Structure 1
């Protein structure tokens, strides 16, 4: 097995056994195993990025999640991204490998470029309370992160940010990104916007089976919108016609039907 895959497979195990040593407890000698930075399974809000000594505050929605072994996912405040991560001691070696291509306003484009530059290569992590700093070796590039609490399925405004087709994820159609969102209410209703029109529907939530089923047709407004918005609305309306399996991971929600078609959504900033 290639060395990289071995390290990725061992990362969760090392996290759980970080307090052990090769030379025995309390040896403190040369054979001491340095504990891995405890980031596996955590979610973070990006506070700021420093690139080449220049610090920029993050826009709403910028985040990084270490939800999967050997992977990081996040959002720049505009586009979603993914990266491979190898964890060894207090160092994360990050290899960005996927970014969606939503057009961003100029200020968010600049921040996205800086975030992706800072979140790349070997980064030393320093964890103090709910704050994590990831710094390049020369200290000129720094990513400042604050821990985010898990978002509850009910009562959270979920901003739809992608579509799923079996195991392939894609961004929303260009020009349709701004409006699509929904809330699962405590009263059993799902309300929101499908990309163009507002909608409301009765839903049955089975938290044990992790399914959400819309019961009966959704009621919608009847506005005409741009072609990308209408295309997204048609897709989402079709998805609501049947039971959906959900996966909730910190502040990211994935809903898929029996064929593997579905959507991804991120908890909106409060």
Structure 2
């Protein structure tokens, strides 16, 4: 026997209301619960520029952000290293700044760092297109421009030495030591470069599984005389290379440390 018409209409009304409620609670609309989260992890992001209150500042070399699966963002302002918490909900990325190192920065780098820390915080709406990610505040007064970039390979990259480390402490190169210090690990097993004053060349053995680099035998160097800060840096780097080192590549930053935790940091030359 057919159901009474009133019962059929009631059932249809309940189904319609359920469908409308589901649409209102998410669905495929912007910002809804059905929107996929921005794919931030697994990609190294280079900072191109930041904007704060209408003033846009281009980023210095080395400015970057990495997002981990554990809800941590870490990177560099181009001078200091920072750490922050983050959460993603659809296209919204909420950043909570937590720590930053205290390395002294040149004036231009310090101004950019201040602007970056002001822009990269709080809820930001993300737009991802063709490998470019823009994070902007809802009112548009703060914006961070990021670009996807592959990690630099250990071999064949010109690594420019930019700092010294001791355990968890990072420091700039000594004042007046210049920017000559660099090294290149060739496919032929040679390590060459400059120690801050003189050029050097040696044979290096790399264990990619153990992540170690060992310079075999004393390095051959030129015999130039340089300023005292340059010579002091050269002595530090020469002694550091005399023994097995652990290496770590973090996007375009190479860290080499000895068993006591002393070492250097170097960044990949932007020309590559």
TM-score tier by shorter-chain length is: 0.7 to 0.9
User: Are 1:96 and 1:116, in contact at CA under 8 Å, matched by a contact in 2?
Assistant: no
- Structure 1 window deviating more from structure 2 (49-58 vs 137-146): it is 49-58
Match of 2:16 in 1: none
CA distance in 1, matches of 2:25, 2:52: 35
The Cα offsets for residues 201-253 of structure 1, whole Å up to 9 and x where unpaired, read as: 11111222221110111112223333332222222111101111112232222
Q: How does 1:52-131 map to 2 (within 5 A)?
A: 52-66=53-67, 69=70, 70-76=72-78, 79-89=79-89, 90-95=92-97, 97-104=99-106, 106-131=107-132
Aligned length: 241
The 5 Å alignment of 1:101-250 reads 101-104=103-106, 106-176=107-177, 178-250=179-251
What TM-score does the superposition give when structure 1 sets the normalisation length? 0.78
Contiguous gaps of at least 5 residues in structure 2: 1-21, 27-32
Structure 1 pair 118–96 and aligned structure 2 pair: CA distance change class (3 A): farther
TM-score (norm 2): 0.78
**Distance (Å, rounded) in 2 between the aligned partners of 1:171 and 1:218:** 24
Farther-moved stretch of structure 1 (201-210 vs 34-43)? 34-43
> Does the aligned pair in 2 maintain the 1:214–1:243 contact within 8 Å?
yes
Q: Distance in 1 between matches of 2:193 and 2:67?
A: 29
Asked if the contact 1:65/1:74 (under 8 Å) is kept, the reply is: no
SS of equivalent residue, structure 1 residue 150:
coil
Q: Is the 8 A contact 2:94 2:121 kept in 1?
A: no
User: For the Cα contact (< 8 Å) 1:67–1:249, is it kept in 2?
Assistant: no
Structure 2 matches for 1:15-30, cutoff 5 A? 30=25
Superposition deviation, residue 107 in structure 1:
4.3
CA RMSD of aligned residues (A): 2.5
Q: Is the 8 A contact 1:194 1:236 kept in 2?
A: yes
Q: Give the superposition deviation at 1:86.
A: 1.9
1:185-209 CA-to-partner distances (Å, cap 9, x unmatched) read: 1111111122222211111112222
Q: Deviations over 1:86-115 (max 9, x none)?
A: 2232313131522443442x5444333322
